[in-house]
Chains A and B, each alone.
Chain A
Amino acid sequence: MSALPVVYAIARADFLERVRRYSYLVTLLFAVYLGYAAGTGRISLRLGDYRGLYTSAWIGAMVSLVTTTFVSLVGFYIVKNAIDRDRQTRVGEILAGTPLTKVSYLLGKFLSNFAVLVSMVAVLALAAVAMQLLAAEDRTFHARGLLLPFLVLTLPAMAITAAMALLFETFRFLRGGFGNVLWFFLWAFSIGLPGLTGLPQLDPSGLWIVYQSMVPAARAGIPGYVDSFSLTIADKSVRVATGFHWNGVDWTPEVVASRLAWTAVAFALVLCGAWFFDRFDPARSRRKSGAKPRSEGVATQAGVAPELPTVRAPIATSIHLTPLASGAGHSGSSRLLAAELRLALKGYRWWWYAVAGGLLIAQFAAPLDISRGPLLAVAWLWPILVWSALGTRETRFGTEQLLFSCARILPRQFPAAWIAGILVAALTGLGAAVRLALAGQSAGLWAWAAGALFIPSLALALGVWSGTSKFFEGLYTALWYVGPLNRVPGLDFTGSASGPQAVRYALLYLAVAAILVGAAFFRRARQLRGT
């Protein structure tokens, strides 16, 4: 039997399953928002203090770069569930019992990933057309100039993203939160790779191709221009460079070939993934998976460790259960908090605790600026997977029905889980807090406390509303990168970059935390009320 119909069937089924979910609509809305942000100048391509006139070539290049940059980051998180869904639904085990090859399966999933990303690209390409018509800075519409950047630059980048998402899913250690965090850094690294290495070929996003085409024209047309080229989230309107004329990228055979090469790399990544893919064989996954069994609890989950021998004893003839004392069912919340904390911290390897401990000790030992700056930043990235489980653990492990049928979940279990998250932040960042207290820096301490409250609140809200940990893992890593790591005041939730504005920002973060917890509470209350 030819492999092509099989690949098509896998891709079609996966794509249909995705696009019929509510989350796909949210995905398209994100694309619409990106288009809106580009169209209204919130995200803009800048050459120093200037931008080009909104010609077809400029808009095509700008929106395609916005698409390439942002959709390759966010799109990864959106499509990184193709294999996981088959694990969760146990369709994978059915497929594993057929003659389906690993390559065919992964190619089908890759095409589905790619199709989802292309649908987002299509929305943005339409937005680009609308942008030129509405802005009306240049009424000459060149379809080729506007759409070729999407075709030549964006699509190969989407292919790479689709393939990377699939590749991550084939490695057990990259399937979960660690992979989600790693992708952010990999993405950031890949954007700057040609600049870092001086090798323009190492440019999966195609950003460098536009740079190399645009900068010489800018040098010639913009007085005082010094090679600045950036995609920015602009806080003020950018001036139009009137003397700057750019007719678009010259799509030479070399340029097209380099993009085709990246498409080939995407296919190579899929084949590489096929090499490592466990084909839903639990024996090839070394550690246990927590996904819930779907069919009446009969079989073990793919990825679960080999079963223990069943424990047997003679059938009991008499059963003794001590009646509970009166008043049972009304015990204090401290045990529940301890239980939530244990649940949050259970399952990590020894080295995870060792690193957390090392960071804590370092906060005590290092100079104050280092302690509350980079050390606290790293200490508050390390437990990201602990926080990302907040609000999603019940969905992920299928324990909603067990928990939601218990009394007083909202006033007891919900706050216990949240406080456990705060305690994790407080414990991992304790060194910096003590140092700030000893130094009498009350403003810094305020900022620290606001950060410790903000992180679990963000995790809880995103978790309860989305039902998945990916949103928090992606967003928090990005926020951490921009704020604490690059020390952008206002976005640095640890407060170390806030300077004299520390208390103001701390109050802002406290307010945001309160809103987030309120939103999570509201959503959980609705979940508990049933449908």
Chain B
Amino acid sequence: MKLEIDNVSKTYRGNVAALRSFRLELGPGVLGLLGPNGAGKSTLMRILATITQPSAGRVLWNGTDIKHDPDALRTVLGYLPQDFGIYPNLSAVEFLEYLAAVKGLGAASARKRIGELLEVVNLADAARRPLGGFSGGMRQRVGIAQALLNDPQLLIVDEPTAGLDPEERVRFRNLLSELAGERIVILSTHIVSDVEAVATDIALIAQGQLVVHGVPEALLAGVNGKVWEVVVPSGELPALRQEHLVSSTAHRNDGVHARVVAGVAPRPDARALEPSLEDAYLATLAAHRHRAAAEAAV
């Protein structure tokens, strides 16, 4: 089972480049695709889901170019788009039955699968109610269920935890972890903690380019010994932000506790901290922007 993204670029009208020569090769596991808003994550997801075609490059599923044979991928694809709708007059069961029929599932296996999925996404009690009355989070869970209908080998989920409450987010993370086994899961998000919880691999994308791809440990290793906590009066915080990358702050009685990513201790009283994935993400992104700005200046 292999998904190859080979030099894929996508340029929209007006010469807006959403992806630039993007390369990635994936095997079974959970890939956390991280990137800021507008980085090109959703464009990449849509290309992988055969919704959009790349302007250049190709995507190969087990060696087959999905541009020429999209059904080779579609038959084994589960896709949860970032933005999707539902048919408000259908119940959750009816909507899933409809999509199961579209996906070509047999009646008996579809019925069993739908029942199990509604349990998994915690909607069994609301299964017969019209979707039009569902909250945003409940709709999102219906979306998750439909993506799993055909037991997909490639599961693409674009911002799947948007709209879910913390409890449902944990439930979804557990679900993804359990599903990971012998399939490729691509989890696109800008919520680092979601990736931290489930990803076996991380790819960081910015300005349409792949910045880094590797295991989380490798990303963390890049900021090892570079994360510090400093305590400053709140009035000095803007100056600290000007000088250093501040990944988080917390107001306490003794001042603002700032988490700083820096090559050397920003102040003599700085305390070294264990790096988090968020620190690594922000540091890598900042370095990429710095490099891009320098290249643009040249």
Contact A311 B109 (CB under 8 A): no
What residues on B are CB-neighbors of A331 within 8 Å?
101, 104-107
- A292 CA to B83 CA in the complex, in Å? 8
- A346 CA to B167 CA in the complex, in Å? 33
Q: A290-B86, A336-B101, A399-B87 are in contact. Are A328 and B151 (CB under 8 A)?
A: yes
What residues on A are CB-neighbors of B75 within 8 Å?
329, 407
Q: What 0/1 readout, one digit per residue, does chain A (294-324) give for beta carbons within 8 Å of chain B?
A: 1011111000111110111101111111111
Contact A409 B81 (CB under 8 A): no
Contact A402 B87 (CB under 8 A): no
Contact B109 A324 (CB under 8 A): yes
A239 on interface, CB distance cutoff 8 Å: no
A393 on interface, CB distance cutoff 8 Å: yes
Find the residue from A320, A399, A405, A413 having the highest chain B CB count within 10 A: A405
What residues on A are CB-neighbors of B171 within 8 Å?
315-316
B97 on interface, CB distance cutoff 8 Å: yes
Q: Find the B residue at minimum CB distance from A313.
A: B122
Contact B125 A412 (CB under 8 A): no
Which residues of chain B in 73-108 are interfacial with respect to chain A, using CB atoms and an 8 Å cutoff?
74-75, 77, 79, 81-90, 94, 97-99, 101-107
Contact A297 B103 (CB under 8 A): no
B190 to chain A, nearest CB (A): 11
Contact B134 A307 (CB under 8 A): yes
B88 to chain A, nearest CB (A): 4
B185 to chain A, nearest CB (A): 14
Q: Find the B residue at minimum CB distance from A407.
A: B74
A325 on interface, CB distance cutoff 8 Å: yes
Q: Find the B residue at minimum CB distance from A402.
A: B84
A303 to chain B, nearest CB (A): 9
Q: A292-B84, A328-B106, A331-B104 are in contact. Are A310 and B137 (CB under 8 A)?
A: yes
A342 on interface, CB distance cutoff 8 Å: yes
Q: Find the B residue at minimum CB distance from A320.
A: B116
Contact A399 B85 (CB under 8 A): yes
Q: Find the B residue at minimum CB distance from A336.
A: B101
Contact B135 A310 (CB under 8 A): yes
What residues on A are CB-neighbors of B84 within 8 Å?
292, 297, 398-399, 401-402
Which listed segment binds A: B50-58, B232-240, B247-255?
Answer: B50-58
- A319 CA to B116 CA in the complex, in Å? 9
Q: Which of A307, A347, A402, A406 contacts B133 (CB 8 A)?
A: A307
A343 on interface, CB distance cutoff 8 Å: yes
What residues on B are CB-neighbors of A399 within 8 Å?
84-87
What residues on B are CB-neighbors of A292 within 8 Å?
83-86
Contact A308 B74 (CB under 8 A): no
Contact A319 B178 (CB under 8 A): yes
Q: A310-B137, A311-B126, A325-B106 are in contact. Are A296 and B159 (CB under 8 A)?
A: yes
Contact B117 A321 (CB under 8 A): yes
What residues on A are CB-neighbors of B178 within 8 Å?
318-319
Contact A297 B87 (CB under 8 A): no
B41 on interface, CB distance cutoff 8 Å: no
- A402 CA to B103 CA in the complex, in Å? 10
Contact A293 B151 (CB under 8 A): no
B104 to chain A, nearest CB (A): 4
Contact B132 A290 (CB under 8 A): yes
Contact B89 A290 (CB under 8 A): yes
B162 to chain A, nearest CB (A): 4
Q: Find the A residue at minimum CB distance from B123.
A: A311
Which residues of chain B in 188-217 are interfacial with respect to chain A, using CB atoms and an 8 Å cutoff?
none
A523 on interface, CB distance cutoff 8 Å: no
What residues on B are CB-neighbors of A311 within 8 Å?
122-126, 138
- A335 CA to B133 CA in the complex, in Å? 26
Which listed segment binds A: B20-28, B142-150, B259-267, B281-289?
Answer: B142-150
- A107 CA to B87 CA in the complex, in Å? 33
What residues on A are CB-neighbors of B88 within 8 Å?
288-290, 304, 347, 397
What residues on B are CB-neighbors of A312 within 8 Å?
122, 167
Q: Which of A291, A305, A530 contacts B85 (CB 8 A)?
A: A291
Q: Find the B residue at minimum CB distance from A345.
A: B89
Contact B122 A324 (CB under 8 A): no
Find the residue from A300, A312, A319, A330 having the highest chain B CB count within 10 A: A319
Q: Which of A305, A315, A323, A405 contacts B50 (CB 8 A)?
A: A405
Q: Which of A308, A339, A401 contacts B49 (CB 8 A)?
A: A401
Contact B133 A397 (CB under 8 A): no
Q: Find the B residue at minimum CB distance from A323.
A: B151
- A310 CA to B136 CA in the complex, in Å? 10
Q: Which of A290, A296, A305, A321 contacts B120 (CB 8 A)?
A: A321
Contact B85 A398 (CB under 8 A): yes
Q: Which of B99, B109, B148 contacts A325 (CB 8 A)?
A: B109
- A384 CA to B184 CA in the complex, in Å? 45
What residues on B are CB-neighbors of A407 within 8 Å?
70-71, 74-75, 77, 103-104
A404 on interface, CB distance cutoff 8 Å: yes
What residues on A are CB-neighbors of B49 within 8 Å?
401, 405
B262 to chain A, nearest CB (A): 34
A21 on interface, CB distance cutoff 8 Å: no
Q: Which of A290, A306, A406 contacts B87 (CB 8 A)?
A: A290
Contact B94 A530 (CB under 8 A): no
B86 to chain A, nearest CB (A): 7
Contact A406 B74 (CB under 8 A): yes
What residues on B are CB-neighbors of A393 within 8 Å?
87
- A493 CA to B263 CA in the complex, in Å? 79
Q: A297-B162, A329-B75 are in contact. Are A335 and B101 (CB under 8 A)?
A: yes
A390 to chain B, nearest CB (A): 14
Q: Can you list 18 A-B contacts with CB-CB less than 8 angstroms, sorted by A residue number?
A: A289-B88, A290-B87, A304-B132, A311-B125, A316-B175, A317-B174, A321-B117, A322-B112, A323-B151, A329-B105, A343-B98, A397-B85, A397-B88, A401-B84, A402-B143, A403-B99, A406-B74, A407-B70
Task: For the complex of A and B, list the 10 residue pairs with the smallest distance between their C-beta atoms, beginning with the closest.
Answer: A398-B85, A288-B132, A292-B85, A347-B89, A290-B88, A296-B162, A407-B74, A401-B81, A339-B101, A397-B85
Give B residues with C-beta under 8 Å from A. Answer: 46, 49-53, 70-71, 74-75, 77, 79, 81-90, 94, 97-99, 101-107, 109, 112-113, 116-117, 120, 122-126, 129-130, 132-140, 143, 146, 148, 150-151, 159, 162-163, 165, 167, 170-171, 174-175, 178-179
Given contacts A288-B89, A399-B87, list 7 more A-B pairs with CB under 8 A. Answer: A290-B86, A290-B132, A321-B113, A330-B104, A336-B101, A342-B98, A407-B77
